[in-house]
Amino acid sequence: MDYAAKRSAETKFYLLAALGGLVSAIGVGAALYMEHHGHAVTGMNNQIVWGLPHVFAIFLVVAASGVLNVASIGSVFGKTVYKTRGQLAGLLCFAMLAAGLVVILLDLGRADRIMVAATHVNLTSVFGWNMILYPGMFAIAFVYMWTLMEKRMYPYSKAAGFAAFIWRLMLTTGTGSIFGFIAARQAYQSAVVAPMFIIMSFAWGMAVFMVVQKAMYLWNGMALHPAIRNRFKRLLATFVAAVFYFVAVYHLTNIYYAKQTAFEQFILLDGGIFPQLFWGGWLVAGTLLPLALIFLPGLKDMPGSATLASLLIIVGAFCQLYVFIIGGEAFPLEIFPGMTAGSSFFDGRIDHYSPSLPELLLGIGGIGIAFTMVVVGVHVLKFLPEDDVAKLEAAGALAD
């Protein structure tokens, strides 16, 4: 690369990093505004207690654990194509986990009490487990990255990759169980929730990885080998189909129980924005269209179809989380089954949620933090995945 081109690339890097920094700073500013005025400036209330920041944070945390699968497939199953991408996957995991945690922490009513949260852990609380699971994930991901980057540590990368895979399963089980153990609200208590979150993490993490990889290849004027791209697309489609299966089981089991049918009627049919996001956002845009882009003959060879499918899966993920978290809270608690309730505290009434700008900006700020960490990490650590196509072809690793 000549000096002028290198300098231009450097300028572009600083511009990107500055853009990410700016978005992150706006997010932190929004959090400070919320901290100063209280949550009165948000759309959250005593019924819908978790809102848009939680949708963003949970997306980031769940996708963070999923993206590490790319590395695990490489190390644990010895797949060269995935192994090449292990370091980038580790960086993405680190960045999204950190960003998700920042959003959750900045949304706390008393974000200043972070040290209290770190030093008082109640082990009967799923949040309490997460106080151990999240730092543990950082530590294991760090050690795993070390085994991938340092030659002397290479022999340990399989063991570290295996540990990371097990830990990430536990982490997503923990995230899903935050909801899965809530008996109070109709939407949540279900044994399916934790495994559903695990499979969601597989799909979302892979989708994020595909988008980031595409952006890096475009940046460097490179192209992914079609055989490798097809392999990734098929794996992604498998994950998306599995998410569809788990979501279907979750709703069908609910419909089976008479006590849950009113909730299902609300979330799938009568609930306004929630059924719209469920059918239009998650099912059509986030599931069926990506599958069509991956498998349909006329669409699958279209340039950018894999990236478009990945982006749609991410859009579908946000719709799904919005329906699950906010739709689940909007439905009234059934405190007195068989009776119609009314009160000044909105008992028995379906709540509505209008997110305010600060909470939206806090969520987007989280994306900005992850983006900045990835841009800087990729630039400094040179994590561009480069396939040795000749070697892979010789080994028959690219045969369909």
Partner 1 sequence: MTAPDNKRRNFLAAAGAGAATLAIAPGINLIRVSAADEPQTKLASGKVRWGMLVDTTKCATGCDACVSACHQENGIVEEVEDPRQRSQWLRKIDLVEQGTGRQHSLPMMCQHCAEPPCVDVCPTGASFKRADGIVLVDRHTCIGCRYCMMACPYKARSFVHEPLTTQNPEVPRGVGCVEGCTFCVQRIDRGKNPACVDACPEAALVFGDLNDENSAIAKKLKEVASTQVRADLKLDTGVRYQGI
Residues making contact with partner 1 (CB under 8 A) = 35, 37-40, 45-47, 49-50, 108-111, 113-114, 116-117, 120-122, 124-128, 130-131, 178, 181-185, 329, 333, 335-336, 338-347, 351
Nearer to partner 1, 313 or 325 (CB): 325
Q: Which of 283, 361, 291 is nearest to 315 (CA)?
A: 283
Of the two residues 50 and 165, which places its CB atom closer to partner 1 in the complex? 50
Which one, 36 or 151, has the nearer CB to partner 1? 36
CB of 122 to partner 1, least distance (A): 4
Please say which residue, 258 or 399, places its beta carbon nearer to partner 1. 258
Tell me how far, at minimum, the Cβ of 173 lies from partner 1, in Å: 16
Rounded distance, CA 8 to CA 280, Å? 42
Give the residue with the Cβ less far from partner 1, 40 or 399. Answer: 40
Please tell me the distance from the alpha carbon of residue 288 to that of residue 313, in angstroms, as a whole number.
10
Q: How far apart are CA 384 and CA 201, in angstroms?
A: 23
CB of 19 vs partner 1, minimal distance in Å:
31
Give the nearest distance from C-beta 338 to partner 1 in angstroms: 6
Contact call for residues 323 and 277 (beta carbons, < 8 A):
yes
Going by C-alpha positions, the residue among 184, 188, 189, 190 that lies closest to residue 335 is: 184
To partner 1, the closest distance from the beta carbon of 178 in angstroms equals 8
Q: How far is the CB of 18 from partner 1 (least distance, A)?
A: 32
Going by the DSSP 8-state scheme, the letter that residue 46 receives in this structure is S
Which residue, 227 or 262, has its beta carbon nearer to partner 1? Answer: 262
**Encoding tokens for residue 67?**
């993206």
DSSP assignments along 255-317, one per residue:
HHSGGGHHHHHIIIIISTHHHHIIIIIIIIIIIIHHHHHHH-HHHHTSTTHHHHHHHHHHHHH
